[in-house]
Amino acid sequence: MRPPTFADVNRDVLRTLEPPGNRYFAWMCVVALILSAGILFWAGQVWWGIGMAGKRVPQMWALYITTFVFWIGIGHAGTLISAVLYLFRARWRTSIYRAAEAMTIFAVMTAGLFPLIHAGRMWFAYFLLPYPNQRYLWPNFRSPLVWDVFAISTYFSISTVFFIVGLVPDVAALRDASTGWRRRIYAMLALGWEGSDTQWRHYRRAYGLFAALATPLVLSVHSVVSWDFAMALVPGWHSTLFAPFFVDGAIFSGFAMVAVLVLPMRHFFGLHAYIQDRHLDAISKLILVTGLVLTYFYVCEIFTSLYSGDHIEKASLFWKVTKTYAWALWLMYFCNCVAPLVFFVRKARTNPVVIYVVSILVLIGMWFERFNIIVPSLGHGFYPYAWGIFVPSATDTGILIGSFAWFFLLFLGFIKVMPSLSIVEVKETLPPPMRDKGHGGQH
Amino acid sequence: MGAKAGVGALGAVLLAVLIFAAVSSWSRQPAVATPSVQPINFPHVVHVETYKIDCQYCHSDARRSEYAGLPSVERCMGCHRITAAQLPEIKKLAEYYAKKEPIPWVRVNKLPEFTYFPHKAHVRAKVKCQTCHGEVEKMTTFGAVTGPRPVNDLLNLVGFRPVPPPLSMGWCVDCHREQNAREKTKAPLDCVMCHH
Amino acid sequence: MVGSTETIVGVFAHVDTTVRALEELKAKGYHDLTVYTPVPVHEIEDVVERDRPVSRVRLFTLLGGLTGAFSGFMLTIWSAMQWNLVTGGKPIASIPPFVVIAFELTILFGGIATLIGMVVLGRLPKLRPSPAFDPRFTRDRFGVAVHCVPGRGGSVREILGAAGAEEVKTV
Amino acid sequence: MNRRDFFKIVTATGAAAATAGCQGASEQILPLVVPNEQLVPGVASWFATVCRECPAGCGVLARNRDGRVVKLEGNPDHPVGQGALCVRGQAALQGLYHPDRFPGPLVREGAGLKPATWENAQKILVDRLGALRGGGRGRAVALVTQLENGSLGALADTWARALGTRARVTLEPFGYEAIRAANRITFGRAAVPHYAFEEARVVLSFGADFVETWLSPVAYTRAFARMHTFRDGRAGTFIHVEPRQSLTAANADEWIRNAPGTEGLVALAILKLMLEDGLVDRRFADAVVGIDVKKVAAGSGVDEATLRHVAKAFGHARPGLAIGGGVAVSGSNATRTQVAINLLNAAAGNVGRTIRFGPDAAWGKVTPYAEVADLVEAMARGEIEVLLLGQGVNPVHALPAGLKFAAAVRKVGLVVSFATQPDETTALAHVVLPDTHWLEAWGDFSPREGVTGLLQPTMAPVRDARQTGDVLLGVGRAVLGSEEGKGPLPWASFEQYLKAAWEPAVRGEWAGALRQGGVWREVAPVAVQAKAGPVEAGAAALEGDASGFALLPYPSLRFYDGRGASHAWLQESPDTMTQAVWDAWVEVPAEAATRLGVATGDVLRVTSPHGAIELPAYVSATLHPTAVAIPLGHRYAPYHVPRYVAAAPTAMTPAALLGPARDAASGGAAWLGVRVTLAKTGARRPLAILQATHDQDHRELAQHVDLRAAREQALRGRAAPHEPISMYADHVYPGYHWGLAIDVDACVGCQACVVACQAENNVPVAGKASAAYGRQLHWIRIERWAEGPAAQPTNTFLPMLCQHCEVAPCEPVCPVFAAYRTEEGLNGQVYNRCVGTRYCGNNCPYHVRRFNWFQYEFPAPLEVQLNPDVTVRQLGIMEKCTMCIQRIIAGKDHARDEKRTVRDGDILTACQQTCPTQAITFGDLKGEKNAVSALRHSPRAYTVLEELGTRPGVTYLKKVVREHA
C-alpha cells in the first residue's frame, strides 16, 4: 500500500482525538468505580492501621511492595524505547514510543503510591525527604529506601520532561489544526513552537542529550529498587544477581504492557498504517529475548543458592519450590519462561491475539516473580520460631486492583487529549516529499 | 531582549529580595509569651522580683523529680494565712484550701508525650529556669509560646534558618550542643535519652 | 536584529525544491534565512547548518550534571556529620551508598539544565508567532523566510519562484 | 488527706503515660492540697507487701508512681522468692486494675446484681445473721476463705466464735493432704515440710511440678536452679517421673514417662533396687517385700534398666531429695505413693538434710477436703442459711464437679461474696461486698513457720471496695449490738486489729517491719523418726470405661486454679511447652490422635462419667498413650470477649469432668480419678500457637554442651574464639557498654520475664486472632527447642529478645534513623521518628521487632498501670526491647546524684529482676570485673546466629546436658 503522506499523518493522528463514543465513557466509569473502591480500602487502612492488610511477622512486607516493584518494572519499557532505542536509531520505535512513554509516567505515578500505602504512619512519610527542619534531622542516606526516593523521583521527573519535550512540536501541529478554546490551550502548551531551523537545532541536540541521560537512569532505577532486597540479609534476597535480574525483568514486563496497550489502540483507532506487523514483530522478539535472559537468571538464582552450600539458603529455596507457595513459583516459571517461547514461531510474532495472550501471561508471571521474591523468602528466613504463612486480606487485594484502575484511568484519559502517536517522528520515518522521485527516497 | 524586559527582571529580583528580608526578619522574632488565663491570677513578678522567693521554694520537686511540681495549696497558705489575706485573689486561694480542693491551674508548658524531660538533671546541671520558661520573673500572668510551629518548618523548607521556637527539638539541641562545646559538661545528644 | 528589513517567505511542498532554493540564496549571498519544517530534514539541515556552530545545549547539561554530582555528595556527607549516628556499624561518611544519591542527582540536575538550555537557546516560549510563520509549516509544507534589506526583494522572489515555490509572499 | 484523694489528684496531672504523636495534652495540672511526704510526683516510691495470688506468699515490692502502682517486683529481703516473682505475681496488677472489678457493693435483684450502698448491702447480711443468731441457729452460717493463716483468719475465727457460726473453712483446691497424711504415717507429723533443694545432689521427683505450681514454685525453682545450674564444674541431677512432659519434666535431665498412677510402685521398685545394691538402710527392706521389679516395670511402662540406674543415681546421691505431688500423684493411692516416697528419702537418709520439718509450710492449715465436702452436703441438705465466701475462692469453678457445689449453693438462702470481680460463684451470690485487692489492703500471711509477711496498702483502692476484715467487724458488731471498744469485736478497723496483733511480735518496730515486708526468724529443724512399715502398693483406681484415657487435669503455671485466668497478660503469655495462648486445649497422645484422625485444632468432645466438655485438641508426641491432659482453671473474663477472643466457650476447665472420688487414706480430692473418652465434633477451633516449629533445623540457636566437656572447659578454659574480621574500625564506647548474658542452662521457661517486661514497658495485649497470626507484641519470648526422639525430646528454653547487635542489620535499612546504635551499645528505637516501613522487621534475623498493627487499647482502668517512663506506642510504629532504657537512665541519674559511676548490679532489667533462676545478667561490658563480662568470657558463652556477624550484645551460655547419671 502507498505510504501515508505528511498530511495523512496529521489527519490520522488528529482523528484519534475526536470526541469519544459511549463505549469509551462506559469503560471510564467502570475503571473509576474500581478505583474508588480501592481508595476506600486505603482510607480504612489509614484509619484502623496496617493490620487491615494481611501483613504479619515474618512477612512485614507483602503485596504492596510486590505491586510497587511490579509497576516500577512496567515503567521501564517507555524510557527504554524512547531513549535507548533512540540512541540505537531503531526506527520502528517511533510509532509506539509516545504511548510507551505515557505508560511509563503513569506506571511510575502508580508505583509511587505504594510506598505511601505501605508505610505504617503514612502521614509522616515526609520524614524521608531531605529538607532543613526545626528538628535538625535528615534521612539516613545509607538506607535503600532513601535511594528509592531519589531514584524514583528522578526517574519520574526526567521521564516527564522527556515526554513533554517530545510533545511540543506535535502540540504545535494540534494548535494549527484546531480552533477555539482547544487551540488556545494547545497554543499555550506548544510554547509558540514554529519548527524554525534554530528551534530544531537546539531541540534535536537537547533530545539527544535527554536520551543519553535517561539511558543510564533506566538501568539505575530498577537496580536501586532491586537493592531494597539485595542489601537485606534475608535468605533469597541477599544476592548480587538482583540488579541485572530486576532490570531485565522490568524490560520484559514493560514490553508486555506496551503490547497490551498498543494493540487495542491500533485496533480501535485503525492505526494499522503506522503500527505495522514489523512493529509487533519487533516487540515480540524483545519479549522473547528478555524472557530467555530472565530464564537464565532464574537458573543462576537456583544454582547460586545450591552451590553456596549455605544450609539456610538452601532450606529457603527448597521451601519455596516445594511448600505452601510452590504453586506461585511454578506459575511464574510457566508465564515467564515457557509462554514467550511461542515467539520462536514467526507467525505468532505478528498475530495480535497470540501477542496479547502471551503479554497478559507475562504480566501475571512478572507480578508473581516479585511475590515469590518477597513473601516466601520472608516466610522461611533465618529463625524457625517465626516461620509463617501470609494470607492476603480484602484490603491488600482491593488496593492492588485499585492500582490497576488508577493506571488505566490515567491512560484512557491521555489517549483522548494528546497525540498517542508522535506526529513528527512518524513523519521522519516516511519518505520526505520530493518532486523528482529519482532523487532521495532512501528511507 | 528589549529594555522593558530588563527593567521587569530587575524589578522582580528586587521584590524577591524584599520579601526574603521581610519574612526572614519576622521569622527571627523571639516567641512572644501570650498570657494564660488562670483560676487565680498569680503574679510571678511579685513573688520573684518583689519578695525574692526562690523558684524552688514553691516548685520544690524540680531538684528531685522529673516534674518541677506545683506548690501544695497548704504551702501557699503557709504565707497567705497572714500575708495579703484580704486581697480578692488570695481569698479565692483560701476558699480552695477551705474546700480541700486543688487549684485547677491551666497548663502552659507542655512537651509532646513521647519526650522525656527530667527537671532534676537540668537543675543539677545548674540550668536557670528562665532558660526554658522565659523571663517568668517579669510576668504578671505566666505564659509562653512553645513547641514546634508549622510555619517554622515551612520556612526551613524554603531555605530560611529561623531560630527554633522554645521547647522545640531544634531549640533543645542547640542548647545541648552549645553546652558541650563550651564546658566539660556532657549534655546528652543521644536520641533515646529523651525519646524512649 | 537589524532595524528595518523586509521578509519574503517562500512556501515549498518538496524537500528537494526547498534545498535548491536555499543553495541558490546562499550562493547569492543571502545568509539571514529562517527555514520552517514540519520535521527535521537533514538535507535541509546540511545546507542551513553548514556555516553555524554546534548547539551549546550540551554545555548546560555538563554543568548541571557536575553540580548534581557535587551536591549529591555534599548533602549526604554533610547531613550524616550532623548527628554522627552509627547504623549497622558502618562509618559515618559511608561513600558507597552515597554514590547512589550522587548519581541520581547528577542525572536530575543534568536533565533539568538541558531543558533550560533548550528553552533559552531555542528562544522559547515564543509569546506571539513570528510574521513569517504559516500553520501549514507544522503539517506538510516547508517555508523559507529571507530577511533582506528593502529593495532586494525582487531578486529573492525570483530565486524562490525559480526554485519551485508553490507560493511566494512578502510579510 | 488520705491516699485516695491523692490518687485522684495525681492521676489528673499530665504526667501520665504518653502516646507517640502529640495527642491528648492535659488541660489542667492539679497540685496537692496538702503535701504528701511519702510520694513525690515523678519519683517512684516502693511499698513492701506479700503476693496473694497463691498461698506461696512471696514477698513483693510495689512500685508506686504518682499514687498508682505501676510495677511489682519480688522483695529481695523476703525469704520466700528472694526478689523473684512468678508469672502470676507479675500479672497481679491486672487484678488490681481489672476492668471488670466490681464498682461497689451489689445486691441481687431477680436475675442480675444491682449496685447498692454499703449500708443497705450490709444490712441484708446483718438482718439475716441477727435473725439466725436470735433463733440460736448460728450453725446455719458458714464462712469460707482462701488460705488465710494470718490476722484476717484469726479475726474471722474470732468473729465466727462470737456469732456462734460454723468453724471457718479454708478452701484451697490443692491442699496437699496426701503429703500431710503420708508424713503423719511415716514421720508421725501431719505437716508439709520445707524441702532444701539447694542441698540435694540428685532430685528425684514423682510428678511434683515445682517449676509450675507445687507448694512454693518461686522459692523452690530458685533453690532448684542453685542445685542444678552448672557452676564452676558442678551441677546436680534432676530426674522426673510423670506420664506427661510438663514444664517441670522438660527441665529434668532425665524424664521418665510412667503409666498414670503408678508412681508409688516405681518409687518402691527404686527403693527395692537401692536395697539390693546395698546403697541404703536395710531397716526399710520390709517396706518392699511385696514388690516385684519386673512386674512394676511391666505395669508402669518404665523399663528395668531405667529403674536400676535411677536407683543407683539416687542411692549414691549424698544427699538426694525425692518429692511427690502434682495431679499424677493425687489419685486414690496418693497417700500410699507419698509414703513410698517418704521411705525413699528416709532410707537414703535425706530426712533432716534436704527435708526439714519445723519450718513447715502454711499448707498444713488448709481445711481437709473431707470437711469441705461435709459443708457442701450440709448446704445441699439446706442446713446452711448464710454462706460467706471470701476473696480468692471460686468453688463453682475450681472444685471437682462431682462435689456438686453449684447445686448445693443454690439451696443456700443468702450467699455473700467478698470477691473483687465477677466469676462463676458470684453469679450465684445474692450480695457482693467487694474486698480490696491485696495491693490495697492491710494484712499478713505466713507462708511457713518463722516467716510472716506484712501486707500494706500500696495505693488507694481503685474501686469502692472495703476490706473484708472491716466488713466483718462492722457486721459482727451490728449483729451483736455491741459498739467499738467493747464486746468480743472491739477493734475500730482491721488495720487496728492487725497492729494490735503484731505489737508483741514487733515491739514498736512496726515501721521497720513494714519496710522490710514482715518478720522472719530461723526455725530449728525438728528431728523425726521414720516408721518403716510395709506399704501396700498399687496403681490408682480410675472411674470410667476401661478403654478410655486417664484424665490428667493439671494446674497450669499461668492460671493456677483459675485465679489468674481473668488476667489478659497471663492469657497471652504462652504455655511454654505448647506455646499456645488464650484458649484451653486437650492434650492428646500422638498415637491416639492418628487412630482418631485428629489434628491439632480439631474440637473434641471429652466425656467422663460426670460430664463432658468440648475443647480443641493439641496433639502431643510426648504424652503417655493411655492419658489425655487438660489444664485446669481456664476461663475468660467478661472484658476479654469480644475484645481479645471471638467468643467464650461454655466450659474450658476439666474440673467439670471430675467425680467425687477421694484419696482413701487422706480424704483429699482425687484429681486423677476418671477415664474419659474422646469424640470428634467435626468443628475446628485453631489454637493460637506462637512458635512455628520446635525443631531448630540445625541452626544452633539453642546450643548445649555435654557435662563432661563443660567441666573440661571450666577447668582448662576454652580456646579463644577467633576475632571477627571487619573492614571497619571497631566501635568505640565513650561511656558504658551495656550488655546482657543469659544462661540457657538456668532458664526453666516459667514466662515470668515475659510478663514482667510487659508490665514494665507498656506492651499491649494483641488477642487470640492477632497472636495466632504472628502479631503478638512481647519484647521477650521463651522459645522451646526440642531435640532427640519425638517421644523423649531434650528441651532447651531460649529467652529471645532484641540482641542489640553491634553490626545490626535493622539499623542501616531504616530511612529515618529511627533505629540506630546508641553511644552505650544499645540498639535504639526512636518511636516518634518511626514511619513504619517495617524494613527493620524484615531484616532482623531474630524476628524480635514488634509492630503496632493497630491502635492497641488499654481498657480502663488498666491504662492507669502504664509506666510513665515509657512511651505508649501509636499505631504504625515498630518497637522492641530497649534493655529497659528507662531503668538505665534512672540508674545513671541515681549514680550521678551520688557523684559516682554506675556500679555493677545497680541497674536490673525487668526480666532479670524477676527471674526466679537468675538466668539473666545485665551490666557494663567495659568493666572486666562485672558479672556480665565474666559470663561473656565463659567457656559456655555463644551468640545466636553468630555466623551472620551481627555481633550481638546479648550473650548466651550453653545448656549443660548430662549423660545419664
Stretch among B39-48, C13-22, C96-105, D3-12 having the lowest mean pLDDT: D3-12
**Quick one: C49 and C61 in the same domain?**
no
**Closest CA in chain B for residue A134:** B170
Q: Tell me, yes or no, if A134 comes closer than 8 A to chain B by beta carbon.
A: yes
Q: How far apart are the CA of D817 and the nearest CA of chain B, in angstroms?
A: 10
Distance CA D81, CA D191 (A): 21
Burial-class residue D176 by CB neighbours within 10 Å (0-12, 13-18, 19+).
buried
Same domain, C62 and C116: yes
Q: pLDDT digit string (tens) for D383-400?
A: 999 999 999 999 999 999
Q: Is residue A439 part of a domain?
A: no
Domain assignment present for A443: no
Partners of residue B159 in chain A, C-beta under 8 Å: 132
- In the predicted model, what is the mean pLDDT of chain D? 92
CATH code: domain of residue C36? 3.30.70
Q: Flag if A147 and C133 touch (Cβ within 8 Å).
A: no
D886 reaches B (C-beta below 8 A): yes
Q: Is the pLDDT of residue D14 over 80?
A: no
Higher-confidence residue: C4 or D862? Answer: D862
3-state class percentages of chain D: helix first, strand second, coil last, to nearest 5: 30, 20, 50
Number of domains into which chain A is organized: 1
Residue C102 inside a domain? The answer is: yes
In a domain, C162, yes or no: yes
Task: Please give the angle made by the CA atoms of D251, D253 and D259, to the nearest 5 degrees.
Answer: 85
Domain that holds residue C64: 57-121
**Looking at chain B, how many residues does it have?**
196
Tell me how close the Cα of B21 comes to any Cα of chain D, in angstroms.
33
Within 10 angstroms of residue A257's Cβ, the number of other Cβ atoms is 27
pLDDT of residue D16: 35
Residues C33 and C46 in one domain: yes
Average pLDDT on D406-421 reads 96
Select the residue from D22, D29, D761, D829 to test the B interface by mutation, using most B Cβ atoms within 10 A. Answer: D29
Partners of C101 on chain A (C-beta within 8 Å) are 141, 146-147, 150
* Residue A69, C-beta contacts closer than 8 angstroms, at least 6 positions apart: A111, A225, A246, A370
What pLDDT shows up at residue D444? Answer: 95
Is the model's pLDDT at D776 over the cut of 50? yes
Give the number of other Cβ atoms within 10 Å of residue A240's Cβ.
9
- Per-window interface: A 327-346 vs D, CB < 8 A: none
The pLDDT of residue A334 is above 70: yes
Q: Is residue A441 part of a domain?
A: no
Q: Give me the pLDDT at residue D9, please.
A: 37
Task: Read off the amino acid at residue B109.
Answer: N
CA distance linking residue A267 with residue C160, whole number of Å:
44
**What is the total count of domains within chain C?**
2
Q: A180 CB contacts (<8 Å, ≥6 apart)?
A: none
| Residue among C83, C87, C91 minimizing CB distance to D811 | C87
Q: Structural domain of residue A250, as residue ranges?
A: 6-432
Taking contacts as CB-CB distances below 8 angstroms, the residues of chain C near D811 are 86-88
Q: Is C30 a domain residue?
A: yes
Measuring CA to CA, which residue among D858, D849, D809 is closest to residue D831?
D849
| One domain for residues C117 and C136 | no
Verify that C109 and C61 share a domain, yes or no.
yes
Q: D283: pLDDT confidence band, cut at 50, 70 and 90?
A: confident
Q: How close does chain B come to D33, measured CA to CA in Å?
A: 5
Cβ contact D96:D462 at 8 Å: yes
Residue D26 confidence (pLDDT) above 50: no
* Complete DSSP assignment for A81-127: IIIIIHHTT-GGGHHHHHHHHHHHHHHHHHHHHHHHHH-TTGGGGGG
Domain membership of residue A349 (yes or no) is: yes
First to last CA, chain A: 16
- At residue D118, the 3 state secondary structure works out as helix
Rounded Cα–Cα distance for residues C59 and C67 (Å): 12
D11 touches chain B (CB under 8 A): no
Contact A294, A350 (CB under 8 A): no
Based on the domain organization, do C29 and C43 belong to the same domain? yes
- Residue B46: is its pLDDT beyond 60? yes
Position B24 scores a pLDDT of 54
Q: For residue D232, what pLDDT band results from cuts at 50, 70 and 90? A: confident
C115 within a domain of the structure (yes/no): yes
D700 touches chain A (CB under 8 A): no
pLDDT digits (tens, 9 = 90+) for C70-100: 999 999 999 999 999 999 988 999 999 999 9
Residue D25 has pLDDT above 50, yes or no: no
User: With an 8 Å Cβ cutoff, are D828 and B190 in contact?
Assistant: yes
Residue showing cell 486423677: D672
Best of C35, C76, C139 to disrupt the A interface by mutation (most A CBs within 10 Å)? C139
Residue A71 lies in a domain: yes
Whether the Cβ atoms of residue C134 and residue A175 lie closer than 8 Å to each other: no
Q: Which of residues 789-848 of D touch B (CB under 8 A)?
A: 817, 820, 822-824, 826, 828-833
Contact of D823 with chain C, judged by CB distance below 8 Å, is answered with: no
Same-domain check for residues C47 and C67:
no
Mutate to test the interface with A, among D579, D777, D847 (most CBs of A within 10 A): D847
Per-residue pLDDT at C5: 79
The single residue listed with the C-alpha cell 527537671 is: B119
Strand partners, D554: D631
Give the residue among D561, D684, D557, D544 at the shortest CA–CA distance from D626. D544
D702-746 residue pLDDT tens: 999 999 999 888 888 777 667 777 788 888 898 999 999 999 999
In chain D, residues with a C-beta closer than 8 Å to the C-beta of A386 are: 692, 774, 847
- Give the span between the Cα atoms of B72 and C16, in whole angstroms: 102
Q: Is A393 part of a structural domain of the chain?
A: yes
Q: Evaluate whether residue A390 is within a structural domain.
A: yes
Q: Phi and psi for D763 in degrees, rounded to 5?
A: -80, 120
Query: By C-alpha distance, which of D310, D323, D56 is closest to D209?
Result: D323
**Which residues, in sequence order, are CB contacts of B19 under 8 Å at separation 6+?**
none
Compute the CA torsion angle D416, D421, D425, D428 (nearest 10 deg).
Answer: 60
Contact status, residue D330 vs residue D668, Cβ threshold 8 Å: yes
- Answer whether residue A401 shows pLDDT above 60: yes
Is C126 inside any structural domain? no
- C63 and C111 share one domain: yes
Instruction: Look at residue B158 in the predicted model and tell me its pLDDT.
Output: 77
pLDDT score, position D549: 96
CA distance D718 to D554: 43
The three three-digit cell numbers of residue A89, written as one number: 536509531
Express each pLDDT in A205-232 by its tens digit: 899 999 999 999 999 999 999 999 999 9
Q: What is the per-residue pLDDT across D193-223, written as a single tens digit (0 to 9) for each? A: 999 999 999 999 999 999 999 999 999 999 9
Which CATH number goes with the domain that contains A404?
A: 1.20.1630.10
Instruction: Using CB atoms within 10 Å of the CB of residue C95, give its burial: 0 to 12 exposed, 13 to 18 middle, 19+ buried.
Output: exposed
Assess whether pLDDT exceeds 50 at residue D7. no
D271 with D344: CB under 8 angstroms?
A: yes
CB-CB under 8 Å, D871 with B113: yes
Same domain, C13 and C42: yes
The helix or strand, by DSSP H or E, that contains position D683, with its residue range, turns out to be: strand D675-684
Residue window 246-305, chain A: list those with CB within 8 Å of chain D: none
- D940-959 pLDDT per residue, tens: 999 999 999 999 999 999 99
Measured CA to CA, the distance from residue B176 to residue D8 in angstroms comes to 37
Buried b (16+ CB within 10 A) or exposed e, C11-36: bbbbbbbbbbbbebbeeeebeebbbb
Q: What is the ipTM of this complex?
A: 0.91
Domain boundary among C121, C143, C161: C121
Query: Is C152 within the bounds of a domain?
Result: yes
Grid cell in block for residue A69? 516493584
Q: What is the pLDDT of residues D559-599, one digit of tens each?
A: 999 999 999 999 999 999 999 999 999 999 999 999 999 99
How far is residue A271's CA from residue A264's CA, in Å, rounded to a whole number?
Answer: 10
pLDDT digits (tens, 9 = 90+) for A274-299: 999 999 999 999 999 999 999 999 99
Of all residues in chain C, the one with the smallest CA distance to A140 is C80
Considering the domain boundaries, does residue A440 fall inside one? Answer: no
Q: Are C63 and C112 in the same domain?
A: yes
